[in-house]
Chains A and B, each alone.
Chain A
């Protein structure tokens, strides 16, 4: 099972929006609406930000949104804030009880 493809880095200015992509195949991202996004600050455990493509857990700001088109899922962070600087990982169900992560994207401020 190959890792999902994410850009290594993304950047934006405070207050702007940034979108991170996550590309898989029809066997994972394209085949199921089970894409999740996780935020990880340095030295910390990952935190769930989006699940089932576009749902937000309680407590996650609505500045974070998710979508999917074909084999590519996307995470959009609007109104960038200082605390949004972090690594972001996507994951997807890939059938037969298998999960797969993306390689991660480091989000930084310009």
Chain B
């Protein structure tokens, strides 16, 4: 069965970097793109962008350029989200979600990133 398993919670200081992983199983990793979605505390879902797992080409949503980087390691069927120069407002749960072209059909369990001094 399809599973997306994300790395555990992170506590970081302002200015630090964090790398969140999303390991896929149960399907051919390079056949589906991977999206990243942010959910700040008490807030709604926000699409951050996606990465083409076949070409490695990322697409970033408005507001998620510069400090946010999507990457892949196809040898271990894993997608990564790296955020640099962390700010308090980056505190959120970050989800990966498989891209079925027309929808996000499977989601990871989410990774809480807390930015606090």
**Contact residues of A with B, CB < 8 Å?**
1, 3, 34, 36, 38, 40, 45-48, 51-52, 57, 87, 89, 91, 93, 97-104
- Please tell me if B27 contacts chain A, counting CB pairs below 8 Å: no
> B107, A45: Cβ atoms under 8 Å?
yes
- Please tell me if B44 contacts chain A, counting CB pairs below 8 Å: yes
> A47, B61: Cβ atoms under 8 Å?
no
Partner of B104, one of A91, A98, A103: A91
Take A45-B95, A46-B45 as given contacts and tell me if A51 and B105 are in contact as well, using a CB distance cutoff of 8 Å: yes
CA–CA, A5 and B54, complex, Å: 33
Count how many pairs of residues, one from A and one from B, have CB atoms less than 8 Å apart in the complex: 62
Residues of B contacting A57 with CB < 8 Å? 105
Which of B100, B104, B108, B109 lies at the interface centre, i.e. has the most chain A CB atoms within 10 A of its CB? B104
CB distance from A55 to the nearest CB of B (A): 9
B59: nearest chain-A partner, CB-CB:
A97
Residues of B contacting A45 with CB < 8 Å? 95, 107-110
CB distance from B70 to the nearest CB of A (A): 13
> A102, B105: Cβ atoms under 8 Å?
no
- Please tell me if B62 contacts chain A, counting CB pairs below 8 Å: yes
> A104, B107: Cβ atoms under 8 Å?
no
- Please tell me if B103 contacts chain A, counting CB pairs below 8 Å: yes
CA–CA, A48 and B104, complex, Å: 7
A102: nearest chain-B partner, CB-CB:
B44
- Please tell me if B29 contacts chain A, counting CB pairs below 8 Å: no
A97: nearest chain-B partner, CB-CB:
B59
> A99, B95: Cβ atoms under 8 Å?
no
> A99, B44: Cβ atoms under 8 Å?
no
Partner of B103, one of A34, A87, A89: A34
Residues of B contacting A3 with CB < 8 Å? 44
CB distance from B5 to the nearest CB of A (A): 11
CA–CA, A101 and B46, complex, Å: 6
CA–CA, A71 and B44, complex, Å: 21
